[in-house]
Amino acid sequence: MTDAASHARAVEVDAFAVWSVKSSFRRYVASLADGVCAVSDDVRVLDPHGFLLRGRFHGTRAAFTWTAPSSVRFEGHGGLLAVELRALRLEVGPDSGALSVAAADGGPGRIPFAHAAIGARSGATFRIDLALTAGGAGLFADNYPVGAPLDPMHLMVEP
């Protein structure tokens, strides 16, 4: 398949993401006496590199959607700190993209969590650069400002 053809033909395949969310935040939660990081059964913890999340990739190399039913929850400070990232959806177009998460209250809405951009691509592996949106900053109780960088997500698409 030519490079042009691989950009043009949409596929739907399994894809895995390795993501540590925000390393400094993970270290902070781990340092708390009651700090907890809980993950859904479909998530593997890859300390110190974060999490392995299994999902589905639909699209082309230039524009795609990746979805994962996974859940990662951080807790601490007697419940005052509670950040849940559930049902991730990454949508990337030629010029911009976004990572959203399901509303924590179980409602039908989604929270735009981070702006996303392809930082690098090598074959079927993408590095996705992420920066907090206002919705993402709100999930962190505004302890990080809008635009604060998150750790990059590494997305591996199965051939």
Amino acid 47: pLDDT: 79
Q: Check whether 86 has a pLDDT greater than 80.
A: yes
Whether cis (ω within 30° of 0) applies to the bond prior to 48 is yes
pLDDT tens-place string over residues 89-102: 999 998 899 999 99
pLDDT tens-place string over residues 58-80: 999 889 999 999 999 999 999 99
Q: Check whether 4 has a pLDDT greater than 80.
A: no
pLDDT tens-place string over residues 120-142: 989 899 999 999 999 999 999 99
Amino acid 9: pLDDT: 86
Contacts of 67 (CB under 8 A, 6+ apart): 55, 56, 58, 87, 88, 89, 90
Q: Confidence class of residue 7 from pLDDT cuts 50, 70 and 90? A: low
Please state the domain extents for the chain. Answer: 3-157
Return d(Cα 78, Cα 81) in angstroms, integer. Answer: 7
Quick check: 10 and 60 in contact, CB under 8 A?
Answer: yes
Instruction: Please state the pTM of the whole predicted model.
Output: 0.90
Q: Which amino acid is at 45?
A: V
User: Phi-psi bin for 141: left (phi > 0), alpha (psi -120 to 50), beta?
Assistant: left
Amino acid 159: pLDDT: 75
Give the CA angle between residues 22, 26, 31 to the nearest 5°.
Answer: 150
pLDDT tens-place string over residues 10-63: 999 999 999 999 999 999 999 999 999 999 999 999 977 799 999 999 999 889
